Structure 1
Amino acid sequence: MAVQSCEIEKELFDQMGVKRGLRNADFSGVLVGLTHIGNVVGYNNEDGKLVPCEGKLYYRGIELKDLAKGFLSTGRHGFEETAYLLLTGQLPNQTELNDFTEYLAEQSELPPFFSKSMILSLRGRDVMNMLARSVLGLYAADEEAEDYSHVNIMKQAISLIAKFPVIVAYAYYGMRHSFQRKSLIIRHPQKHLSLAENFLYMLKGNEYTKLEADLLDLSLVIHAEHGGGNNSTFTTRVVSSAQTDTYSAIAAALGSLKGGLHGGANLKVIDMMNNIKENVKDWSDKKELSAYLLKLLKKEAFDHTGKIYGIGHAIYTYSDPRAVLLKEKARELAEEKGRMDEFNLYTLIEELAPEVFYSFKGENAKIVCANVDFYSGFVYECIKIPKEIYTPIFAIARIAGWAAHRIEEVTFSSRRIIRPAYKCVIDRSTYLPLDSR
């Protein structure tokens, strides 16, 4: 079957002013909306020129590092507080936080027979696909699925935040039972545990440390929201603008997050790091390590893509605040697990990679730094979380941000369907009758 070429000349994009990837020529994002929820800062606009700066991330106007410092300094977990902030726009007091946490625990229970019929019987090899399918299945269990009132969408949001860890844990064990011939283990969520603790309990029973739970909770907090322009959140807003139901919108976001250029990036970092460990003899030798990083950029090593995974970000320049926060706690975890040699290798690559990148790309190269994916995979490895659920953990966190953006889009936006333009650049042709082709 002959297929007409779909290739479009690259020059046409520039000639017609196309913002490829919805990015401007200076790498900033095309402004397509306004939000109160999250703000990502990697540069300042000074007299119309973008000037790189230390990265900052804000949740409802509160800087992420201050939010994290608030709960870390008291030794408590912060994801529930963060979800409340994103959904309502304000920090909860102690009574509100207690009530919200208790309600989340109540909502974690799946509908009767749902686990068996939707998760364990309908087998799947990919946990993200199983999660998306389960979300669509929850539509059938919701008698008010098509109710678009603010109160009902909020109820649906909290229900999904509570159920995501349970679905992911069950889907993982169902997948490994069906396709890896391993034991099927189902643990029911415990109402006295935090969401992060509950997830570890459902995965590992009581075989986890306090520091492991603290690190997972912090990881959930720093992944919960990242502005309206990231691919999965933008997907949520695009689909929600069409006035579809909550479950369809979130399933679409999951499809976006599954992509290797979005939620699966930390898996690439782990694979790259394993390759570096195998090919660099002395992990502390800056010269040897820099030479191998240069090979990566020259497409002479690892997967030959010319990328150093975990280095660089679409917005952040000098630093990614999420990576900074995670790195601080990751050091403690590495010490607990006796993996400081590996942690030191990560920190050395974080130091050397930008230098190698600039020397290879030239003085006009984009400023790059380690992003959150650079350390998150290492953290999950130390906690002994299976690779199959690295991206689903991202979803467990980001559902809070997706839900907040859906509420804002459906309830408070201009209520116009998001509909950008594509210009057709194919030449006109004439219809040929079937016997003349």
Structure 2
Amino acid sequence: MDNMPLEKFEQNLPEKLKNFIDPQLYSKYQVKRGLRDIDGRGVLVGLTEIGDVHSYIIDENDIIPIPGSLMYRGINIEHITNGFLSEGRFGFEETCYLLLFGELPTKEDLISFRELISKYRSLPEDFVRDMILKMPSKNIMNSLARSVLALYSIDEKADDTSLNNVLKQCIRLIASFPLLGVYSYQALSHYYGNKSLIIHSPQPYLSTAENILHMLRADNKYTKLEATLLDLALVLHAEHGGGNNSTFVTHVVTSTGSDTYSVIASALGSLKGPRHGGANLKVVEMFDDMKLNLKDWKKDGEIEDYLLKLLKKEAFDRSGLIYGIGHAVYSISDPRAVIFKSHVKKLAKEKGLEDEYNLYAKVEELAPKVMEKFFKVSKNISANVDFYSGFVYRMLDIPIEMFTPIFAISRIVGWSAHRIEEIASNGKIIRPAYKCISKRRAYTPLENRCSGK
């Protein structure tokens, strides 16, 4: 008998897959899908002192939703942001120090830490040419991951997992991530978008947020308000507890004893997913579609009709989702969205985009009501940080391809803090259980196997 032609065999491979698991079996075996209880609470798998996400209280075994709060090392994020904003300072570097070392820096410590970040804000000689420009990627997150793994080859102590060495590696990565992200975008823009190739060097006297805008823009120019909003975005995205997907990945891979570069590359792979770091991109695309289909942005009824079409899978990507509304943890409010919204309006006014801001605010108001009516369930639903962050990035003229990389530039701080904590705690290798439900079968000799279905 002639062998099956390779092309036909390859085409038929998907039909051979047998990966469906009966959903009822998850209930039968009490599987915590997504490491979450039936009521939505995460399964407790670890302890941390770095970040705390709080959205409910327990009263006589009842879950009572409350306005969400986010703590960095025990300090409320609202107090942190109010602190540096009221003094007219940029806060990302201060936040880095707090998350890494557990205490707010003194004035002298902050100056020294900024100088250290500035010192490390560079890449090895010829790295941009050989690793970024010669190998442009259509997705910057993949370019970031590849660059991080390439840095392993240059580090003489790459596999040294002592706390001192890992701390140094993490600070170097925190400092270099803006360069890796922006230069990867410039390569994409040039080789795939046929635009001019512009590579600006970072300036030692600028903050992280200022340097991102400085390197992204051809003329290097930006306003103080623009830099302030980007800095605020970096602070709000820097940490979100140990249970979010990419940070949990950081703990999982760190627990194996792997090197810093492999750990961060793994976290980047997690963050790339649209269910995690790519959500704000979906919000912007949804609003673009909404603006094309709404005749009057100010009519509640017309907006509600569009939102209902989203839920019915009749509009936009037909996923049945209103992106940016709802969160796995927060219910009444996402504190990051609350903080963001109070400053977004100022930037929208500066950019002449008040009508668009008002549309966002109106959708934030109407979406929970439409969802409650559609699902016929009374539930607290609110906007999450992704709802406004994409709008902010759009107003800052940050390319859409950079939305998730900006998230990574911020969240690597949290990943670094959790990696250091996992090493310091000397925890066990993380290995949850999976139950195999396949039936036991006898081995069939090759000549006795039927080729039919």
TM-score surpassing 0.5? Answer: yes
Equivalent-residue separation in structure 1 for 2:205 and 2:34 (angstroms): 44
Cα distance per residue 1:335-364 (max 9 Å; x no partner): 00000000000001100111111111123x
Which residue does the alignment assign to 1:435?
Answer: 447
Q: Give the secondary structure class of the aligned counterpart of 2:316.
A: coil
- 2:357 is the alignment partner of 1:343: yes
Which residue does the alignment assign to 2:415?
Answer: 402
Q: Give the secondary structure class of the aligned counterpart of 1:305.
A: coil
How is 1:66-145 mapped onto 2 (pairs within 5 angstroms)? 66-145=79-158
Which residue does the alignment assign to 1:227?
Answer: 241
Equivalent position amino acid for 1:231 in 2:
N
Residue 120 of structure 1: how far off its partner (Å): 1.0
Which residue does the alignment assign to 2:77?
Answer: 64
99-108 vs 270-279, which moves further: 270-279
- 2:330 is the alignment partner of 1:316: yes
Equivalent-residue separation in structure 1 for 2:326 and 2:393 (angstroms): 21
Larger Rg belongs to: 2
Equivalent position amino acid for 2:287 in 1:
M
- 2:215 is the alignment partner of 1:202: yes
Which residue does the alignment assign to 1:353?
Answer: 367
Which residue does the alignment assign to 2:54?
Answer: 41
Tell me how large the CA RMSD over aligned residues is: 1.0
231-240 vs 290-299, which moves further: 290-299
Equivalent-residue separation in structure 2 for 1:350 and 1:43 (angstroms): 21
- 2:384 is the alignment partner of 1:384: no
Which residue does the alignment assign to 1:273?
Answer: 287
- 2:275 is the alignment partner of 1:261: yes
Which residue does the alignment assign to 1:29?
Answer: 42
Equivalent-residue separation in structure 1 for 2:188 and 2:270 (angstroms): 21
Equivalent-residue separation in structure 1 for 2:191 and 2:317 (angstroms): 30
Equivalent-residue separation in structure 2 for 1:218 and 1:372 (angstroms): 12
Identity level (%)? 56
Residue 285 of structure 1: how far off its partner (Å): 1.0
Which residue does the alignment assign to 2:3?
Answer: none
Q: Give the secondary structure class of the aligned counterpart of 1:101.
A: helix
Equivalent-residue separation in structure 1 for 2:401 and 2:442 (angstroms): 50
**Regions of 4+ moved over 6 Å:** none
Equivalent-residue separation in structure 1 for 2:306 and 2:85 (angstroms): 37
Q: Give the secondary structure class of the aligned counterpart of 1:235.
A: helix
Equivalent position amino acid for 1:157 in 2:
C
Cα distance per residue 1:365-421 (max 9 Å; x no partner): 5421000000001001101000001000000000000000000001124x2000001
- Give the length in aligned residue pairs: 435
Residue 282 of structure 1: how far off its partner (Å): 1.4
Q: Give the secondary structure class of the aligned counterpart of 2:307.
A: helix
Equivalent-residue separation in structure 1 for 2:312 and 2:342 (angstroms): 31
- 2:202 is the alignment partner of 1:189: yes
Residue 4 of structure 1: how far off its partner (Å): 4.1
Residue 168 of structure 1: how far off its partner (Å): 0.6
Residue 42 of structure 1: how far off its partner (Å): 1.3
Which residue does the alignment assign to 1:243?
Answer: 257
Which residue does the alignment assign to 2:435?
Answer: 423
Residue 207 of structure 1: how far off its partner (Å): 2.1
Equivalent-residue separation in structure 2 for 1:306 and 1:170 (angstroms): 36
Equivalent position amino acid for 2:418 in 1:
H
Equivalent-residue separation in structure 2 for 1:4 and 1:171 (angstroms): 37
Equivalent position amino acid for 2:279 in 1:
A
Which residue does the alignment assign to 2:227?
Answer: 213
Q: Give the secondary structure class of the aligned counterpart of 1:54.
A: strand
Residue 305 of structure 1: how far off its partner (Å): 1.2
The TM-score, its normalising length taken from structure 2, stands at 0.95
Equivalent-residue separation in structure 1 for 2:142 and 2:316 (angstroms): 28
Which residue does the alignment assign to 1:285?
Answer: 299
The TM-score, its normalising length taken from structure 1, stands at 0.98
Q: Give the secondary structure class of the aligned counterpart of 1:214.
A: helix
Equivalent position amino acid for 2:43 in 1:
V
Equivalent-residue separation in structure 1 for 2:19 and 2:157 (angstroms): 43
Equivalent-residue separation in structure 2 for 1:49 and 1:348 (angstroms): 32
Shift of the 4–189 alpha-carbon distance from structure 1 to 2, 3 Å rule, reads closer
Equivalent-residue separation in structure 2 for 1:391 and 1:28 (angstroms): 26
- 2:314 is the alignment partner of 1:300: yes
What runs of 5+ residues in structure 1 fail to find an aligned partner?
A: none
Q: Give the secondary structure class of the aligned counterpart of 2:270.
A: helix
Residue 206 of structure 1: how far off its partner (Å): 2.4
Cα distance per residue 1:108-155 (max 9 Å; x no partner): 110111111111112211110000000011111111111111111110
Equivalent position amino acid for 1:221 in 2:
V
Residue 43 of structure 1: how far off its partner (Å): 1.1
Equivalent position amino acid for 2:365 in 1:
E
Equivalent-residue separation in structure 2 for 1:48 and 1:87 (angstroms): 35
Residue 13 of structure 1: how far off its partner (Å): 0.3
Cα distance per residue 1:11-34 (max 9 Å; x no partner): 000010001111101101010000
Q: Give the secondary structure class of the aligned counterpart of 1:51.
A: strand
